[in-house]
Chain A
């Protein structure tokens, strides 16, 4: 099993020795730590007017995340890729369990709880296991272009957790598997024409889904997105208030803890999905530019690690994780200024949230680990 998976990755067993110890990528690590610190500060400001103090909790998650980052760094990612089928199946099992026993806001089933204690969102965990398993499968494909059977298999790998998450229903999280899969498959050799064909099929399915599959409130969200001013006190309220928060930050912001939109509770979900609006209001365009710059640093550093990596599996894994994280960043920041419809997509390292924070740190650990072990296969 072990040697066969090595072979699948194109890595001869005897080459796998630890040689030429490397430093971790300082740019990526610095971006991670700074973003986490900014996240803590912003969560504190955003939750200052709430009855529950979110800062200590988020601090615990960040601390735990850092520990998990180090643990992930210590484990050879090849082993994780090797064991990915088990992780993947475990992830699917958790998704089934959460569908049966889960709890969540508004009658959804997204949270795994035992004895009233929230353990986490299996959907977040599934993103990671799916990325690992897909990396393993696509690395073994090993050709210039993916053939139809390989594409179908990859889609099945991604489709199963997606379907289970969509049943919760958590369409936002389910949708996150699309950039993950698309990023990895394109790098692995998916022809663009397949992607275009898929996009057309998705659009067609979307039209059908609009009429037959979407609940009223989901349709409403899309309509609201297209015309937020049409219902300023209803569904459009959030977008409107978020845009006001962002725009009124102007160049230098209103100052930390001084954002009127957030402190006076005009802004919804300000410690989770709209945390970036709080930051934009209080720190202005300067703050926005710094944070977006840090994300850019993170992603470009990660992609440079991909360029340095010597094996297909490592490259694909980095690309998958960056596609996922990058999509979160792009979608969330675009949603906050009303460029995209509102769905519950949080911002990595900044939004309050347990599972999500941990997954981001583990992903960072994985990427750093891939860099650390790039000479293994020399």
Chain B
């Protein structure tokens, strides 16, 4: 083969090759263009999306908790404050041997290692690099010990967090309430909460939670791929919670708590002129500090199972038959409706037979002839049986409602009961039967289905004391505006004979509270009430424990210039006179003594 033809052959093949190389060039350009297009799509079309993802990667938003507002009594005494509490935190990502670390910490703290392990177990679902608490409420000595001997254990750190301190422990417990961890429901329904946040669970802590809590701040930190925080990028300081000044008078409150110790019941003291609550006690109490420190399941169950129900605020969440205290409303209704007057007398021979039933009076031998003042003073049932029969249930119910029975007082506490004012409509709706006239006779002396809370009773007394205004009870100063309170219907001159009667209850030697509530230098006016827990006819002899009658004493003083209303409800306290009135008396002494002292 000659070289010339050989060359030509190469040339021919070369042309074919070159066409293919050009095709390859087109392929290369196309592929590079497609890839460039793909980057265009990712970086420009979807760029913002990925920039956001990159930020989510590197930025951790941490919430800075605001210090919770403090709570003071009306004289500026601290009731609730925040103190630092020290937790031992374990960063599992920095521990070589977690078990060994726990053993070390347990040794330093002198706590069983199982307890630390159990705490750690609770946080097992959290990422490793998030420090978790393994021991709480360290003493300062333990903190010092840990920081000295713990140098070789960088996995541990001490975290100080504010702990809610209720200065007076169980005293003021029901008013203040307590705080606890936010529930899953709170997290779902209320924005701005993080797991582990505390929220007011009861009392003032609950009602004013948002004011007390303030606004959480935010800290944005840059983290690396292992979650290690590298630098702070942004910080929005927390908005501290607002302090609250209560209407409560700590001295009076403590006196009332002391008087109710070992008793079950409720005390409400309020200013009849404006509704400011000076003292509010529900007994037995609980210790809100337990909740702040963190309540174990066992302790929580014990509180729930306690038959005395210490968590229940009896001033607003329990309702009872008002007993003879209801006679105040009966008297006002009778006078207002014109069916009785001050001088008209009724003869009491110890019982009355109405609608074929015999209704007994407190005094089996009878009170003889009694007028309105005497009927109130001696708490004569027969007088009010006749009045009830005359008025009828619908009129009674109307006046009861006018005095605020059956509606919430609007106090700044949650879970308030509205009580019950029975009438025909109520009977048909709930019992499916007509109201029987005979039942009206029971209602006339505050028995039967009638139910009121101690706070409603205090509001009723305030209306009598202040000349007819149904003030709104409240615990935080200036909680409610200047809106004028609703007033009782009709003429207020009918309150005078009632007040005369109430004054006589305490100050006339024959009054039901003469021996138990009378003060030497201040005139107290009040009304006793005794609520039968079971019918006397059913049990012979001494009644004991939870079968004993409840006692009421609702009062105000001084009688001619009322400054304070006190309502005492003694659960199973035997009677209003012996079980409740002495407590009110002691409280008035405390109140007027401190007033004289400070004046």
Chain B hits for A319, CB < 8 A: 21, 24
- Closest residue of chain A to B11, judged by CB? A310
A292 touching B3, Cβ below 8 Å: no
Q: Which of B20, B39, B225 has the most CB of A within 10 A?
A: B39
The answer to whether the Cβ of B29 comes within 8 Å of any Cβ in the partner chain is yes
- Closest residue of chain A to B42, judged by CB? A247
Chain B hits for A261, CB < 8 A: 54, 57-58
The answer to whether the Cβ of A260 comes within 8 Å of any Cβ in the partner chain is yes
Bound state CA distance, A303 and B18, in angstroms? 10
* CB contacts between A and B, total, < 8 Å: 142
B17 touching A285, Cβ below 8 Å: no
Chain B hits for A310, CB < 8 A: 14
B24 touching A183, Cβ below 8 Å: yes
Chain A hits for B36, CB < 8 A: 288-289, 292
- Interface with A: B45-53, B234-242, B316-324, which one? B45-53
Task: Please provide the chain B residues from 204 to 241 with a CB less than 8 Å away from any CB of chain A in the complex.
Answer: 222-226, 230
A266 touching B32, Cβ below 8 Å: no
The answer to whether the Cβ of B28 comes within 8 Å of any Cβ in the partner chain is yes
- Closest residue of chain A to B224, judged by CB? A264
Bound state CA distance, A236 and B37, in angstroms? 23
B54 touching A189, Cβ below 8 Å: no
B38 touching A248, Cβ below 8 Å: no
Binary CB contact string for chain A from 288 to 330 against chain B (1 if under 8 A, 0 otherwise): 1100100110011001001100111001000100110010011
CB distance from A285 to the nearest CB of B (A): 4
B51 touching A248, Cβ below 8 Å: yes
- Partner pick for B31 among A243, A266, A330, CB 8 A cutoff: A330
- Partner pick for B32 among A245, A296, A323, CB 8 A cutoff: A296
- Partner pick for B43 among A10, A241, A284, A306, CB 8 A cutoff: A284
A243 touching B25, Cβ below 8 Å: no
The answer to whether the Cβ of A246 comes within 8 Å of any Cβ in the partner chain is yes
Chain B hits for A243, CB < 8 A: 42, 50
Bound state CA distance, A312 and B14, in angstroms? 7
Chain A hits for B49, CB < 8 A: 247
Chain A hits for B225, CB < 8 A: 264-266
A288 touching B48, Cβ below 8 Å: no
CB distance from B366 to the nearest CB of A (A): 88
- Closest residue of chain B to A327, judged by CB? B31
Bound state CA distance, A300 and B22, in angstroms? 10
The answer to whether the Cβ of B123 comes within 8 Å of any Cβ in the partner chain is no
Chain A hits for B18, CB < 8 A: 306-307, 315
CB distance from B14 to the nearest CB of A (A): 7
Bound state CA distance, A330 and B6, in angstroms? 38
A247 touching B14, Cβ below 8 Å: no
CB distance from B7 to the nearest CB of A (A): 8
Bound state CA distance, A339 and B31, in angstroms? 13
Task: Please provide the chain A residues from 156 to 214 with a CB less than 8 Å away from any CB of chain B in the complex.
Answer: 183, 186-189
CB distance from B223 to the nearest CB of A (A): 7
CB distance from B74 to the nearest CB of A (A): 55
Q: Which of B16, B223, B225 has the most CB of A within 10 A?
A: B225
Chain B hits for A360, CB < 8 A: none
Bound state CA distance, A285 and B29, in angstroms? 18
A248 touching B47, Cβ below 8 Å: yes
Chain B hits for A288, CB < 8 A: 36, 39, 43
The answer to whether the Cβ of A45 comes within 8 Å of any Cβ in the partner chain is no
The answer to whether the Cβ of B10 comes within 8 Å of any Cβ in the partner chain is yes
Task: Please provide the chain A residues from 81 to 109 with a CB less than 8 Å away from any CB of chain B in the complex.
Answer: none
The answer to whether the Cβ of B99 comes within 8 Å of any Cβ in the partner chain is no
A285 touching B44, Cβ below 8 Å: yes
B39 touching A189, Cβ below 8 Å: no
- Partner pick for A265 among B3, B10, B51, B224, CB 8 A cutoff: B224
Given the known interface contacts A248-B54, A333-B35, A339-B38, the answer about A280 and B43 at a Cβ–Cβ threshold of 8 Å is yes
A292 touching B43, Cβ below 8 Å: no
Bound state CA distance, A333 and B34, in angstroms? 11
A247 touching B46, Cβ below 8 Å: yes
The answer to whether the Cβ of A244 comes within 8 Å of any Cβ in the partner chain is yes
Given the known interface contacts A265-B226, A303-B25, A303-B28, the answer about A10 and B38 at a Cβ–Cβ threshold of 8 Å is no
Chain B hits for A292, CB < 8 A: 32, 35-36, 39
CB distance from B343 to the nearest CB of A (A): 90
A246 touching B50, Cβ below 8 Å: yes
B28 touching A334, Cβ below 8 Å: no
Chain B hits for A334, CB < 8 A: 35, 38
The answer to whether the Cβ of B40 comes within 8 Å of any Cβ in the partner chain is yes
CB distance from A222 to the nearest CB of B (A): 20
Task: Please provide the chain A residues from 333 to 376 with a CB less than 8 Å away from any CB of chain B in the complex.
Answer: 333-334, 337, 339
Bound state CA distance, A310 and B36, in angstroms? 33
A250 touching B48, Cβ below 8 Å: yes
Binary CB contact string for chain A from 227 to 268 against chain B (1 if under 8 A, 0 otherwise): 000000000000001011111111100000000110011100
The list of the 6 closest CB pairs from A to B, nearest first, reads A247-B50, A250-B47, A248-B54, A265-B225, A248-B51, A285-B43
Residues of B within 8 A of A (CB): 3, 6, 9-10, 13-14, 16-18, 20-22, 24-25, 28-29, 31-32, 35-36, 38-40, 42-44, 46-51, 53-54, 57-58, 222-226, 230
The 7 sampled A-B contact pairs (Cβ below 8 Å) are A246-B39, A247-B53, A265-B226, A288-B39, A303-B28, A311-B10, A312-B17
Residues of A within 8 A of B (CB): 10, 12, 142-144, 183, 186-189, 241, 243-251, 260-261, 264-266, 280, 284-285, 288-289, 292, 295-296, 299-300, 303, 306-307, 310-312, 315, 319, 322-323, 326, 329-330, 333-334, 337, 339
